[in-house]
Amino acid sequence: MAVQKLPLAKAINESLRLALETDPKVLIMGEDVGKLGGVFRVTDGLQKDFGEDRVIDTPLAESGIVGTAIGLALRGYRPVVEIQFDGFVFPAYDQIVTQLAKMHARALGKIKLPVVVRIPYGGGIGAVEHHSESPEALFAHVAGLKVVSPSNSSDAYWMMQQAIQSDDPVIFFEPKRRYWDKGEVDTEAIPGPLHGARTLREGTDLTLVAYGPMVKVCLEVAAAAQEEGKSLEVLDLRSMSPIDFDAVQKSVEKTRRLVVVHEAPVFLGTGAEIAARITERCFYHLEAPVLRVGGYHVPYPPARLEDEYLPGLDRVLDAVDRSLAY
Amino acid sequence: MTVDSTAAARTPRKRTAAKKSAKKSPGVGAPDLVQLLSPEGRRVEDPAHAEYAAFVEDITADELRGLYRDMVLTRRFDAEATSLQRQGELGLWASLLGQEAAQIGSGRATRDDDYVFPTYREHGVAWCRGVDPTNLLGMFRGVNNGGWDPNSNNFHLYTIVIGSQTLHATGYAMGIAKDGADSAVIAYFGDGASSQGDVAESFTFSAVYNAPVVFFCQNNQWAISEPTEKQTRVPLYQRAQGYGFPGVRVDGNDVLACLAVTKWALERARRGEGPTLVEAFTYRMGAHTTSDDPSKYRADEEREAWEAKDPILRLRTYLESETDTDEGFFAELEAESEALGLRVREVVRAMPDPDRMAIFENAYADGHSLVDEERAQFAAYQASFSDAEGGN
Ligand SMILES: Cc1ncc(C[n+]2csc(CCOP(=O)(O)OP(=O)(O)O)c2C)c(N)n1
């Protein structure tokens, strides 16, 4: 059966399984990825079926995980490493930013670093601190890295295949609060390009751009807005580096209004880059300034306040109204 | 002292051979284990450990009862927190069940002017430092990201990013040395944390600067699903040697030994003799946290074997057989436990959600114009709702 209904986490699991099956050079590495199957069970059953040589429980050391993955990649392997939670990537940040990102260029293109760094990210699960952050802009800012985030099961499945096949390092942000959302996965489909944005809903009055966990919220916003007679187009960005500005431009030339939504702080975030580029490209088409909805310039708050912090239906709708009021 | 890593070095390609020696190496019950109270509740007189034993030589029955009381109340508090999590009052709880002796022994070894850097499971140490246990629950309930003033009990905030605090502890200790003070620092971390670069760096710094810091590693055998063998090929306390300071393995379920060895290490630090690594060999009896399911990765028999070494039972046996402790003491303590449980439950249930404007508090000490702007926008946005509601 080619089409299955799978939770997002399970779609990634199936995708990893396929990669392990088809390419003996693919390795899974990380804390608790073996017997436990990861704290979110994304690697569930893989060690059992592929052995401790392919699915490797590592010591509790993120710099070690990424640093050794770099060495394994230099030796011809394709490591897919798991960072347990967003806030724990920083011990590895040095290896990612100063080494993983730059080595291909330093070697005049003679070596490739096909390393995938999987990071469950974002809030909305009521966790303690360092378990809910959205640090994607910190990685997208670094040349040499590709940064992507699926928002649904099908993309999770296919984008993981494409990330593993990429000869560049890919930071793969997994929207953890969507892990349990089910969606259809066609395992025989021909996937679109890894870095292409996708229109999930057509509209004429305003474009909403989001990725990862906020895509679902934006689709709900569009549905709510429709009841008020407003037609919103929803774009799933899918990739934060590179960004498919052409797709955003095309949509904005049609709708003339743009609101970018993400969980990460607005200040110097992905939305800021989109706003700047689209303003350059679409200055004469825009009827309103590009607006951004996202987190504030404060540490991610404790769980009981995260609903205030995270953009929800009302906050996005408010931005939509503000844009339409121009 | 034999270290099994040589066997692995000879046969680097043979994974199976390497694995076998890894199993052997951390040496459960190795002769180096400092133990003053056996699992059967009897005093152990080992001349090799006389130097440590000297630190508890004069301990009175009253003081022993105090340690017992600390352990019982800590366990009660921990059990209450676990059930509050089950009832949805806490988002998460990291239980210390089984680690009471390691925490109370080491915690009671500290002096008021010492400074403690915990990880996230040191509820027993917090108890010893006089931190109100209900303060520990705020971050687990999700109403704050810390919840106490570290300076009021010289007990730093819990640290969730594994290993980070060992460097803070080292720096703090370097400051103490610079000030010419005679207090000391104790840093807690787990066996898993021993793999982190930060921990290695803290060993380096503390050795180089001869910092008055005690590294107290609670080796509870597991880092979530990974056994200690996935972190190290040598017993952890032996690591210290490579950095140039002593490492001691103590029976982490023996409160007396933990007290003695930690006092010994803190005294060394005060005398200007630099850092010590104490490895408390103990066991995490419960799950890693309430989100974890240990049945996925470990056998029940293992826990059962460790239950026989229960730290509380062992001291109780000793108190009953070797001291004048009567039934009344235990009964009173039972009542005190119940009262503590009740208080914790009431305080947690009454713990209000923070005001939403709290998001913008304390991001900066000096203030920040962007935060001010966002705070104002947020307030206006919130007010627009109440206006709308008011107008209905
Ligand atoms: C840098 C970092 N990586 C991963 C985690 C997730 N994590 C939380 S606790 C833990 C295991 C810690 O084991 P150990 O250090 O032995 O302490 P224990 O919890 O057993 O007391 C892990 C992997 C984390 N908190 N920080």
Q: H or E element: which one contains B240? A: helix B239-243
A302 to chain B, closest Cα gap in Å: 5
Residues 6+ apart with CB under 8 A from A282: A249, A252, A253, A258
Query: According to the model, what pLDDT value does residue B31 have?
Result: 55
Instruction: Quote the CA–CA distance of B87 and B84 in Å, as a whole number.
Output: 5
Q: What is the mean pLDDT of residues A148-157?
A: 98
**Which of chain A's residues have a Cβ under 8 Å away from the Cβ of B228?**
none
The answer to whether residue B193 neighbours chain A at the CB level (below 8 Å) is yes
How many other CB atoms are found less than 10 A from the CB of residue B247?
Answer: 23
Three-state SS at A192: coil
Q: What is the rounded end-to-end Cα distance, in angstroms, of chain A?
A: 50
Interchain CB distance below 8 Å, B196 and A32: no
Unique residue bearing structure tokens 């690591």:
B239
Residue B102 beta carbon below 6 angstroms from any ligand 1 atom: no
Q: Provide DSSP, B176-211.
A: HHHHT----EEEEEETTGGGSHHHHHHHHHHHHTT-
Q: Do A59 and B197 touch (CB under 8 A)?
A: no
As beta bridge partners, residue A121 has A175
Q: Is B284 known to be catalytic?
A: yes
pTM, two decimal places: 0.94
Burial B340-371 (b: 16+ CB within 10 A, else e): bbeebbeebeebeebebebbbeebeeeeeeeb
Q: Which residues contact A96 (CB under 8 A, 6 or more apart)?
A: A66, A89, A117, A139, A142, A145, A169, A171
Walking along chain B (392 residues) 10 residues at a time, the average pLDDT comes out as 37 39 41 92 95 97 98 98 98 98 98 98 98 97 95 98 98 98 98 98 98 98 98 97 98 98 98 98 98 96 96 98 97 98 97 96 96 97 81 44
Q: Within 13 Å of residue A254, how many CA atoms lie on the same side as its CB? A: 18
Are A179 and A224 contacting, i.e. CB atoms less than 8 angstroms apart?
no
Q: Which two tokens stand for residue B361?
A: 């508090």
Give the Å distance between the CA of B60 and the centre of ligand 1: 37
In angstroms, the CA B322 to CA B44 distance is: 13
**Distance in Å, CA B88 to ligand 1 centroid:** 23
Cα distances from A273 to residues A240, B119, B188, B353, in angstroms, run 10, 38, 42, 35
Contact across the interface for B195 and A301, Cβ inside 8 Å: no
Cα separation, A86 vs A174, whole angstroms:
10
A50-75 tens-digit pLDDT: 999 999 999 999 999 999 999 999 99
Burial class (CB in 10 A: 0-12, 13-18, 19+), A15: buried
Using the beta-carbon criterion (under 8 Å), do B363 and A304 form an inter-chain contact? no
Q: According to the model, what pLDDT value does residue B53 have?
A: 97
Classify burial at A208, counting beta carbons within 10 Å of its beta carbon; exposed 0-12, middle 13-18, buried 19 or more. Answer: buried
Interface list for B 199-228 with A (CB within 8 A): 223-226
Distance B193 CA to ligand 1 centre (A): 6
Residue B363: closest CA among chain A residues belongs to which residue? A298
- Alpha-carbon distance of B1 to B283, in angstroms, equals 24
* Interface contact B198-A126, CB threshold 8 A: no
Q: What pLDDT was estimated at residue B108?
A: 98
Average pLDDT across chain A, whole number: 98
pLDDT band at A1 (very low <50, low <70, confident <90, very high): low
Task: Determine if ligand 1 sits within 6 Å of the CB of residue A84.
Answer: yes
Query: Is the separation of the CB atoms in B196 and B217 below 8 Å?
Result: no
**Does residue A130 have an active-site annotation?**
no
Q: Quickly list H helices, chain A.
A: 8-22, 46-50, 62-74, 93-94, 103-106, 136-140, 153-165, 214-227, 245-255, 270-282, 306-309, 313-325
Find the chain A residues whose C-beta atoms sit closer than 8 A to any C-beta of B: 31-32, 34-37, 39, 53, 57-61, 63-64, 87-88, 90-91, 126-131, 267, 296-299, 301-305, 308-309, 314-315, 318
CA B390 to chain centre: 51
pLDDT score recorded for residue A189? 94
Cα angle B264-B267-B270, degrees, rounded to a multiple of 5: 155
Cβ of B191 closer than 6 Å to ligand 1, yes or no, is yes
351-380 in chain B: CB under 8 A from chain A: 353-354, 356, 358-360, 363, 368, 370-371, 374, 378
